[in-house]
Structure 1
Amino acid sequence: MFDIKKQEIQWGGQTLTLETGRVARQADGAVVATLGETVVLCAVTAARSVKEGQDFFPLTVHYQEKYFSSGRIPGGFFKRERGATEKETLVSRLIDRPVRPLFPEGFYNEINVIAQVLSYDGENEPDILAMIAASAALTLSGVPFMGPIGAARVGYKDGEYILNPTDAQVAEGDLDLVVAGTHDAVMMVESEAKELSEDVMLGAVMFGHREMQKVIDAIIDLAEAAAKDPWELAAQPDTSAMKAKLKKLVGKDIAAAYKLINKSDRSNALNAARAKAKEAFADASPQDQMVASKLVKKLEAEIVRTAILKDGRRIDGRDTKTVRPIVAEAHFLPRAHGSALFTRGETQSISTCTLGTKDAEQMIDGLNGLRYEHFMLHYNFPPYSVGEVGRFGAPGRREVGHGKLAWRALHGVLPTKEEFPYTIRLTSDITESNGSSSMATVCGGSLALMDAGVPIKRPVSGIAMGLILEGKDFAVLSDILGDEDHLGDMDFKVAGTSEGITSLQMDIKIAGITEEIMKVALHQASDGRAHILGEMAKALDHTRTELSAHAPRIETMTVPKEKIRDVIGTGGKVIREIVAQTGAKVDIEDDGTVKISSSDLDKIEAAKNWIIGIVAEPEVGKVYTGKVVNLVDFGAFVNFMGGRDGLVHVSEIKNERVAKVSDVLSEGQEVKVKVLEVDQRGKVRLSMRVVDQETGAELEDTRPAREPREGGDRGPRGDRGDRGDRGDRGDRRREGGDRGPRRDRGDRGPRRERDNDDGPAPEFAPAFLKRDDD
């Protein structure tokens, strides 16, 4: 029933298996890829015809993580997989970026690539497996895909590269790099690094490219056994005559337009040239009009690329290494915790940093379970930033990808949560765009962090590099414009500090680049980053030592684990009371770490003192300030250490006799008390009479000592001998058994003291107090 084809290789210490013919057999190509116990299914379907008038390649990639793959049920109300998460969006882009350039020009059939994680073992990340499965499925499908590609993750620790490292190895190491490419060249790079050198980064890319060759060979072997017949593509019509006509008609206009430095002027001139070409083909068929429009774009690319390669002249008149003018301003917004306005040429970002408490952390529900992220970076690209009318709303895939690139660039220089216990949110609102807005986000975000007082290791700058490649001739461009990105062959973004690279991203629009080109691009980018750091330093060259007056303050303290229960209280009663009474936020961790936050330092101090009072042990002889919480006949209970109460006996309220406690004290009254004793059960005896209630100073105890009994010192009582077994005295009831409940004797008033215990009972004593001999 099943015609199953399979390939297995040993790769990175694991068995990689590629299988087809068992699952999703109606798709044009379907591959189940397995590494360890992680399994990904990728299915490819392609439309057999092109929609009329379509002039672009509609490739759509969807990556989805099934929660059952790790034995989990999705969170939320609906309990099912819904819209793409940030990770799913990013992995979809990882698959799309290296495969899209490998389809032939003019191929406009719609293609769907759907990769689904079916099993996840917690060690082998499914993103690399999904890229491999997608490459294999496309290769088997018969569509005109000039692959296959391979992919690999590379780590770096102790001077050694690691193939497909685990999450733990990535966390302990200095690099997390994903590379994809064909047999001959690198197609895509995505990475986060801890200030590594250009040579180390280049070595990681080439290491990954070498290791993926085994995967490419396995896909080719599987295709030889199971690939469908390749599609027959229609012959492309000869357009040389039409191209010559257009060049004669608008060639000079396009060349003149690209000499205009201002983007708006250049766009207007180009639009006029395009309208002129469109008018010349107004009577042609819709197909010829579409071809003419494509040829005008090709003509623009040829003019720009020729000027750069032959004359070394770029669109705005710069040479290949010059960075556009930069203006950086710190503390751009008065109420934001940290802010900056970063402008580079016609690209501009308003970057803001907002500090929050633990409650503001982002909860992320993924295959590994719930986790919390304390650093977020959100990138927004409104249509007005490029002078257009368009959709304005939730971020798309591009916005998510650009924001994550900037996040990776800045993540490595942030302090640890122990060093800086804040939740950090960076926002980049792009207000102008002509060139890399993601790198402007890195620069503006770095300044905003320093303006907010976040103690980052060093400032981070970023630059976008371009490439013009014709045969063996190439030119690497620093700080590319939007048109140079569109008409060039490479988008190469590098971010880092003065000490090294923190992030590297590369996308190629051709069939890959060589190691030589990458080396030139990396070292040229290093010079550009250094220049940008110098311009940023003019606005702010160090982290501010004080937080904004509008930012919350967080103080951290530690309580013994056995006291956590006391701080929280039954059902959270105590911690809620602390928050309600002091106005400060209190978060307590399982290890006893307590974070107290508020924009008012007095509130923090009040909450801190309250908690100290709960967990600290009272010191005998020390004076405390407390509050009367309960009055009883024999004294008053005083709360003097947060959750700790002690008893002030009626005899310890004042030096003179107190007949009624309520005559002297009232509930809620603040008093000064001295700890007299803490017994073995933890009960505390307090005194007010030996403390000055206004100043809190200790007073001399002037109460006379108790008179000794007549007869003087009777000395030790000596050994009284064995008194025998006196039996169980029980509750000391008199003989006669249970007397039942005692009758109400009424209010007898205060009892008068007897002269001594041995004298006769006075005549006025009630009968039940008189002795038998009376």
Structure 2
Amino acid sequence: FEDFEEETTREMILEGKREDGRAFDQVRPITSEVGLLPRTHGSAVFTRGETQVLVITTLGTAEDEQIVDGLAEEYSKKFMLDYNFPPFSVGEVRPIRGPGRREIGHGALAERSLAQVMPAVEDFPYTVRLVSDVLESNGSSSMATVCGGTLSMMDAGVPIKSPVAGISIGMITSADKRLLITDIVGNEDHFGDMDFKVAGTEKGITGIQLDLKIRGLSLDIIRETFERARTARLHILELMKATLPASRETLSPYAPKLLTIKIDPEKIGKVIGPGGKMIRKIQEDTGATIEIEDDGTVYISCPNGDSAQKAKEAVEAITEEVQVGRVYTSEVISIKDFGAFVEVLPGQDGLVHISEMADKYVGSVNDVVKVGDMVKVKVIGIDDQGRVKLTMKGGLNPEIEANIPENTERRREGGRDGGRDGGRGRRGDRD
């Protein structure tokens, strides 16, 4: 019976008739919709005739990259597409198991076709995963996945370079005749001589796959196939643009917030801290996740945009260089007889000598500041060993100066107080 069905189908097409009544260059009716699943980061349903796919986009961070460990050198992928072809999509009843050769091949074709328009990591550092579930199939579900994947990513706010659409071109041949068929259905694929899948944008092709049952194709047939595919592709792209003209300007509120900054690779250790102490503290304080690449690229991600910004500011503060002449608001971290150490920037402290604490004489450091106080300090110098010298003079802390006890004023006449070596301090402590 199948032989009779094949012979009848081929004869009917060669006589100028298709089983669904379409012209040979006509695409099946197309409908599409985006944003069906509000809780996902992006979603789209693309329907072409009796072929329908649901494509969901999920955005992740660098931790979500796929590590590929094969025969070649290990590498990671920031964009991946999974294609599922459940048995109910073609009216079959069988167990749903892991992906087979067909699913892997179709997914790889759709992934390669879309990978060409993905934004650069510098512009969009997210990891992007697409999952295409075929809901019904009567030919060319892989090219429907390309179309649905484009719309789903645009719905998620992925700034793709250009929309991509795909189409399958078939062919029926006889001893003296050859016919190209646009947008083939299942029987035309099964009983035909060619299934030439072509995906691309308005300007060019991003992916092709050829299944052939005859000995080969001439250059004329290839040229004609590409031109037929181009015409159909432009038609599909126009319909897709009517659904969603461009990528959304904002991401889903449920997508992780991801910021990227660049630091000096030599300062990576400073951000991480001894045993990871510094980076853990930032993550605990802000709730953000921080990942650092060897080239100094820092990825900061968290569900809340404010937390990501706070983590970014903390990293920038650690890697920032202390500048002479600049005023900083700093915390007092320890007190000595000769002055106070303050944290100018995270991980960078400096000394305010007792003689630089106020515009008037100070008898004891404890009369001016205590551990944990926040004070304004000005950088007056950095020595060859990187030690930072600070001052609180110049009216930087008027409230603190106003509270210095009057009995600490230097007595210009009479004896000196015994505890301060004449109020001058020990020479070795001052240097």
Determine if the TM-score, normalized by the shorter chain, exceeds 0.5. Answer: yes
Q: Which amino acid aligns with 2:238?
A: G
Contact 1:467/1:477, CA 8 A, preserved across alignment: yes
| 2:34 pairs with one of 324, 330, 336 | 330
* CA pair 692-602 structure 1, distance change in 2 beyond 3 A: farther
| 1:751 pairs with one of 412, 418, 423 | 418
Deviates more, 1:539-548 or 1:438-447: 539-548
* CA pair 708-412 structure 1, distance change in 2 beyond 3 A: same
Matched, 1:434 2:101: no
Describe the superposition over 1:262-287 as per-residue Cα deviations: whole angstroms up to 9, x where unpaired. xxxxxxxxxxxxxxxxxxxxxxxxxx
Matched, 1:499 2:180: no
Shift of 1:463: 0.4
Equivalent residue runs for 1:23-42 within 5 Å: none
* CA pair 509-393 structure 1, distance change in 2 beyond 3 A: same
Matches of 1:440 and 1:756, distance apart in 2: 85
Q: Residue 309 of structure 1 aligns with which residue?
A: 14
Matches of 1:377 and 1:756, distance apart in 2: 75
Q: Secondary structure at the match of 2:418?
A: coil
Unmatched 5+ stretches in structure 1: 1-295, 711-749, 758-774
Matches of 1:634 and 1:382, distance apart in 2: 77
Q: Residue 382 of structure 2 aligns with which residue?
A: 679
Shift of 1:332: 2.2
Matches of 1:665 and 1:754, distance apart in 2: 23
Matches of 1:756 and 1:399, distance apart in 2: 84
Q: Secondary structure at the match of 1:538?
A: helix
Matches of 2:191 and 2:252, distance apart in 1: 44
Aligned CA RMSD, in angstroms, stands at 3.3
Q: Secondary structure at the match of 1:443?
A: helix
Q: Which amino acid aligns with 2:377?
A: K
Q: Which amino acid aligns with 1:309?
A: L
Equivalent residue runs for 1:274-313 within 5 Å: 296-310=1-15, 312-313=16-17
Q: Residue 428 of structure 2 aligns with which residue?
A: none
Structure (1 or 2) with the larger CA radius of gyration: 1
Q: Residue 603 of structure 1 aligns with which residue?
A: 307
Describe the superposition over 1:302-321 as per-residue Cα deviations: whole angstroms up to 9, x where unpaired. 222221111x2211121211
Matched, 1:570 2:237: no
Matches of 1:563 and 1:692, distance apart in 2: 32
Contact 1:466/1:479, CA 8 A, preserved across alignment: yes
Shift of 1:619: 2.5
Q: Residue 26 of structure 1 aligns with which residue?
A: none
Contact 1:336/1:550, CA 8 A, preserved across alignment: yes
* CA pair 752-625 structure 1, distance change in 2 beyond 3 A: closer
| 2:177 pairs with one of 473, 484, 505 | 473
Describe the superposition over 1:675-699 as per-residue Cα deviations: whole angstroms up to 9, x where unpaired. 24333122224455743599x9x99
Shift of 1:572: 2.6
Q: Residue 396 of structure 2 aligns with which residue?
A: 691
Matched, 1:418 2:142: no
Q: Which amino acid aligns with 2:3?
A: K
Contact 1:621/1:674, CA 8 A, preserved across alignment: no
* CA pair 475-551 structure 1, distance change in 2 beyond 3 A: same
Matches of 1:513 and 1:341, distance apart in 2: 35
Matched, 1:409 2:113: yes
| 1:543 pairs with one of 231, 247, 252 | 247
* CA pair 485-674 structure 1, distance change in 2 beyond 3 A: same
Matches of 1:579 and 1:617, distance apart in 2: 22
Q: Residue 370 of structure 2 aligns with which residue?
A: 665
If asked which structure has higher relative contact order (CA below 8 Å, sep 6+), I would say 2
* CA pair 647-537 structure 1, distance change in 2 beyond 3 A: same
Q: Secondary structure at the match of 2:69?
A: strand
Shift of 1:628: 3.8
The alignment-based identity, stated in percent, is: 48
| 1:340 pairs with one of 44, 47, 51 | 44
Shift of 1:635: 4.8
| 1:626 pairs with one of 321, 330, 335 | 330
Q: Secondary structure at the match of 1:554?
A: strand
* CA pair 408-659 structure 1, distance change in 2 beyond 3 A: same
Matches of 2:138 and 2:340, distance apart in 1: 75
Shift of 1:483: 1.9
Q: Which amino acid aligns with 2:300?
A: I
Q: Secondary structure at the match of 1:426?
A: strand
Describe the superposition over 1:698-742 as per-residue Cα deviations: whole angstroms up to 9, x where unpaired. 99x9x9xx98989xxxxxxxxxxxxxxxxxxxxxxxxxxxxxxxx
Matches of 1:367 and 1:538, distance apart in 2: 44
Kindly tell me the number of residue pairs found equivalent between the two proteins. 417
Contact 2:109/2:142, CA 8 A, preserved across alignment: yes
Q: Residue 640 of structure 1 aligns with which residue?
A: 344
